[in-house]
Structure 1
Amino acid sequence: MDLKEIQNLIKFVSNSGVAEVKLETGDIKITIRTTLEGNTPDITYVQQAPMQQLAAAPAPAQTAAPVAATPTAATEDNSKYITIKSPMIGTFYRKPAPDKPVFVEVGTTIGKGDVLCVVEAMKLFNEIEAEVTGKIVKILVDDMSPVEFDQPLFLVDPS
């Protein structure tokens, strides 16, 4: 199912007057909810989940519980640092290209405007620049891993 078909489905559902439609095709699940007052879609979910991820999902949830106790102690130590966060959803890269060196390492002194990493979103590579001057204390994300909007990427010591 491509984007045009999804858009046509949303238009059809909003004009039909139904409150909610759920559609499952292979590994794609779509839920469209419309408001009762208007004919515009309220919430549209498009979720694609390969079977490999579904099988692996329960294991990380079990290991996440013991780790959850440690961030409270870590945040107290990190309160003096500035957190640089991801401005978008995408894939985090520490290097400009696979054969190039990383932008920054722990201990690197950075200045305002220095490129720290690249976040790839929809085949566009966006350079993330430092907004502060300081020293990289910790890199919070592994190379080539997915990041969410506002997810912490780096800790910087401004002193």
Structure 2
Amino acid sequence: METREIQKLIDFIAQSGLDEVNIETTDLKIKVKRYGSAPAASPTSIPAAVTVAPTTAPPVPTTAVTHSAQTEPTTSADSSSNLITIKSPMIGTFYRASSPDTPAFVSIGDEIKPGKVVCVVEAMKLFNEIESEISGKIVKVLVENATPVEFDQPLFIVEPA
């Protein structure tokens, strides 16, 4: 398993609300444990410890994990001005609209308010609507439509209202 795949798995588990997950295959053993008692839908990132070790044990069947979408992006103040960055709350594919034939959720110059859907991030075949936590005006869209995004990657720059 590659590092990128492990990171995607960790982020998926962090979004799921589970406190501990153990996965064993013929090639590796992964144990992910969440620290603290943060609620499952918390918009802050939750640190996770990961142990990866080769093993010769037979594969253990894994159960499916349901995914509860984190619907609010994290924001951080830009140090050079009063602009705020809306960041991706997960790894996935960024989409500006709900389908190719519909208009983008937001464009440069659009006014947004808390709860307004600004984009969709598809992760593991689940389409997660990302909502704004702030009021303001979209100044810049930092990601092209249908491109992969990383956890905490800046998506939009907003001038607060």
Same fold (TM over 0.5): yes
- Counterparts of 1:99 and 1:44 in 2: how far apart (Å)? 46
1:43 aligns with 2:45: no
Deviation at 1:9, TM superposition (A): 1.1
Secondary structure at the aligned position of 2:138 is classed as strand
1:129 aligned residue (98, 121, 131): 131
- Counterparts of 1:44 and 1:106 in 2: how far apart (Å)? 47
Deviation at 1:76, TM superposition (A): 6.3
Partner of residue 150, structure 2: 148
- Counterparts of 1:148 and 1:44 in 2: how far apart (Å)? 25
Structure 2: 5+ residue runs without aligned partners? 2-22, 31-49, 55-77
Partner of residue 35, structure 2: none
1:81 aligns with 2:90: no
**Which structure has more helix as a fraction of its residues?**
1
- Counterparts of 2:131 and 2:90 in 1: how far apart (Å)? 13
Rg larger in structure: 1
Matches within 5 A, 1:106-121: 106-121=108-123
TM-aligned CA distance change 1:116 to 1:150, over 3 Å: same
Matches within 5 A, 1:8-87: 8-10=25-27, 42-43=51-52, 77=80, 79-87=81-89
- Counterparts of 1:76 and 1:126 in 2: how far apart (Å)? 29
Deviation at 1:143, TM superposition (A): 0.3
Alignment RMSD (CA, Å): 2.6
Deviation at 1:84, TM superposition (A): 0.3
**In the alignment, residue 25 of structure 2 is paired with which amino acid?**
N
CA offset digits 1:42-75 (Å, max 9, x no partner): 2269xxxxxxxxxxxxxxxxxxxxxxxxxxxxx7
TM-aligned CA distance change 1:152 to 1:9, over 3 Å: same
CA offset digits 1:83-109 (Å, max 9, x no partner): 000000000000101111110000000
* TM-score for both structures, normalised by structure 2: 0.55
TM-aligned CA distance change 1:138 to 1:8, over 3 Å: same
* TM-score for both structures, normalised by structure 1: 0.55
TM-aligned CA distance change 1:123 to 1:44, over 3 Å: farther
